[in-house]
Amino acid sequence: MIKRLGVITSGGDSPGMNAALRAIVRTAIHHNVATFGFLQAYQGLIDNAYVELNSRSVSNIIQRGGTIIRSARCKAFKTPEGQAQAAANLTALEIDALMVIGGDGSLQGATKLAEHWPGQIIGLPGTIDNDLWGTDYTIGYFTALDTALHAIDKIRDTADAIDRVFLIEVMGRMAGFIAEGVGVSGGAEAILVPERPVDVDVLIQDMNQAKQKGKVSFIMIVAEGAYPGGASALAHLLEERSGVECKPCILGHVQRGGSPTALDRILASKLGAFAVEQALLGVSNVMAGIINNELVLTPMEQTWQNKKSLDPYLFKIQKILSQ
């Protein structure tokens, strides 16, 4: 029976991490479990930097982006020495279970920690990328979609006003879920993702055909990992090859901030409470997720070894609906 629970928010922060932390702390308190937040993710485990969290510690944070226990990308934890130090600190503090809220890298780190520490480890999918296998959605994805979409709608106003092609770069170095989602919801004429090859000749042909059809704007959504050098490099090449003015717009880290949407708050609250309930049942080395609206557990390794696929139907209808 766990009595002392640790939690970290790790890697690329995402809107909803605070909502998940709040659910973890308050569910733990409901079951008479003490909670310790380690500051700056795995770095905090190595430095033994933590705060004990009570119900008031997580007041008024459900609506806040970022993470009150901060995050980090910690190189030291990629070494066995760093992992061993973290394990020793958890043991010395008599932590029984650790919640890791983060993306695929953080969950890889959790798998490594398990080689050094016998306590229970449960992952929660905290990343805007939505690229973790074992859950339909990750915490932060919905908010990042809405943030990017509001920017795209604004770009479309000026794209309609002046004859130009816009290439809007969204986050997703290794995965095109944000690009796929905002491409369809933003009515983009093209969606470029790391998972699919970019054919410049086809893009130019599509641009020309759109103009011949009388379309007054042409918007491409470019995932940052879809083309070497991203939207800026591709815009330069397309303008050079087509003679059409092509303007890049890099949305960048604005997609990582903002108040989480209702869907992200609901997802984070469900997964946080579920993770604590499962920890109380003794589970370990799994990630809590939601598939077809069912709460599920997935072995930790599978979440980052298996590749989640984009939705081919969205790419099919995007071509038809943007004609």
Active site residues: 129
Per-residue b/e over 152-188, b at no fewer than 16 CB within 10 Å? beebbeebeeeebbbbbbbbbeebbbbbbbbbbebeb
CA distance 138 to 261: 13
User: Residue 74 binds which entry of ligand ADP, ligand F6P, none, with Cβ cut-offs from 5 to 8 Å by kind?
Assistant: ligand ADP
End-to-end CA distance of the chain: 59
Nearest Cα residue to 16 out of 272, 288, 251: 272
Contacts with ligand ADP by CB under 6 A lie at: 10-12, 42, 73-74, 77-78, 102-106, 108-109, 112, 127
User: Residue 44 binds which entry of ligand F6P, ligand ADP, none, with Cβ cut-offs from 5 to 8 Å by kind?
Assistant: none
Site for ligand F6P in 269-298 (CB under 6 A): none
Q: What residue ranges in the chain does DSSP mark as E strands?
A: 4-9, 34-38, 50-53, 97-102, 120-125, 165-170, 190-192, 218-223, 246-250, 286-291, 294-299
Q: Which residue has the tokens 């003015």?
A: 245
Tell me which of 37, 103, 181, 260 binds ligand F6P, using CB under 6 A: 103
Q: Choose between 172 and 230: whose C-beta lies nearer to ligand ADP.
A: 172
Q: Choose between 38 and 177: whose C-beta lies nearer to ligand F6P.
A: 177
Specify whether the CB–CB gap between 71 and 13 falls below 8 A: yes
Q: Choose between 12 and 134: whose C-beta lies nearer to ligand ADP.
A: 12
194 touches ligand F6P by CB under 6 A: no
Tell which phi-psi region holds residue 34, choosing left (phi > 0), alpha (psi between -120 and 50) or beta.
Answer: beta
186 touches ligand F6P by CB under 6 A: no
Tell me which of 12, 119, 248, 289 binds ligand F6P, using CB under 6 A: 12
Backbone dihedral angles phi then psi of residue 12, each to the nearest 5 degrees: -65, 120
Q: Choose between 124 and 190: whose C-beta lies nearer to ligand ADP.
A: 124
Q: Choose between 126 and 183: whose C-beta lies nearer to ligand ADP.
A: 126
Q: Choose between 185 and 242: whose C-beta lies nearer to ligand F6P.
A: 185
CA distances 197 to 225, 230, 305, 315, Å, are 11, 13, 22, 13
- For strands 120-125 and 165-170, give the pairing: unpaired
User: Residue 173 binds which entry of ligand F6P, ligand ADP, none, with Cβ cut-offs from 5 to 8 Å by kind?
Assistant: ligand F6P
173 touches ligand F6P by CB under 6 A: yes
User: Residue 180 binds which entry of ligand ADP, ligand F6P, none, with Cβ cut-offs from 5 to 8 Å by kind?
Assistant: none
User: Residue 226 binds which entry of ligand F6P, ligand ADP, none, with Cβ cut-offs from 5 to 8 Å by kind?
Assistant: none
Q: Which stretch binds ligand F6P (CB under 6 A): 165-173, 229-237, 273-281, 283-291?
A: 165-173
Per-residue b/e over 81-110, b at no fewer than 16 CB within 10 Å? ebbebbbebbeeeebbbbbbbbbbebbbbb
Tell me which of 172, 186, 194, 248 binds ligand F6P, using CB under 6 A: 172
Tell me which of 64, 70, 256, 265 binds ligand F6P, using CB under 6 A: 256
Site for ligand F6P in 111-130 (CB under 6 A): 127-129
